Structure 1
Amino acid sequence: MTDERRPLREQLSAALEDLTYPVRNETDLTPNFPSWSNTRFESADVSLTPRELLLLVPKDYPYESADELLEAVEGVLREEGDID
C-alpha cells in the first residue's frame, strides 16, 4: 500500500473504508490484519504498521464511519507531532 504519491490520509482512508461499521472495539479492527500483513502506511514524516495504527486508535468507541475513525487517528498523530 505504500505509495509516496498518496498522502497518508488517503492510505488510511482506503484501509479503513472496508471495515464493518460501527466499530465497537479493537476486535472489530483486527480482522483486517491478515490482509494488511505487508502493509505500511507512510508519508514523508510517518511510517505505521497496522499494529501501530491499532495502538493509535482512541478508545472512544463506537466509531460510526471510516471518516470518524480516520479523524480520531489523525487527531492522535497531530497531538504526538507526527503530522501537521
Structure 2
Amino acid sequence: MADKEAEFRQQFQDAFEGADYPVSNPMELVPALPNGPGTRFEAGDTSFTAMELATKMNDAQDFPYDDVDALVDDLIEGLKQKDML
C-alpha cells in the first residue's frame, strides 16, 4: 500500500509541478499535464486518467493551491478516503 502511495505521489508531483501556481481550479492544471486530461496515472492494479481523477476528487480538493505539494497531499488523502489507495 505504501509503495502504491509513493508511486502515485511521484506521478502527481511530476505531472502537476509544471503548473502556473497558484491554481484556482482543476482546468488550470491541464496545460501542465503531458497528455492533457488523458494523462494516465498507474500504480499496482489501480489506474485512472487525470479527467477521472478530477471527477472523483472534486470534493476532496480545496482550491486554490499555492504549490504542488499541497495539491498532491490532498489528492493522496482523497484517494485514501475513497478507498482507491
- TM-score tier after normalising by the smaller chain length: 0.7 to 0.9
Q: Is the 8 A contact 2:65 2:71 kept in 1?
A: yes
1:9 to 1:59, Cα distance in 2 relative to 1, 3 A: closer
1:73 alignment partner in structure 2: 75
Structure with greater helix percent? 2
* Greater than 6 Å deviation, 4+ residue runs: none
Aligned-pair identity in percent equals 32
Q: How many residues align?
A: 78
Structure 2 regions of 5+ residues with no counterpart?
A: none
* Alignment RMSD (CA, Å): 2.2
Mapped to 2, the partners of 1:72 and 1:54 lie a distance apart of: 12
Structure 1 regions of 5+ residues with no counterpart?
A: none
TM-score by length of 2: 0.75
1:40 alignment partner in structure 2: 40
Mapped to 1, the partners of 2:50 and 2:73 lie a distance apart of: 17
User: Any idea what SS the aligned residue of 1:67 has?
Assistant: helix
Q: Deviations over 1:16-39 (max 9, x none)?
A: 101110111122123345x32563
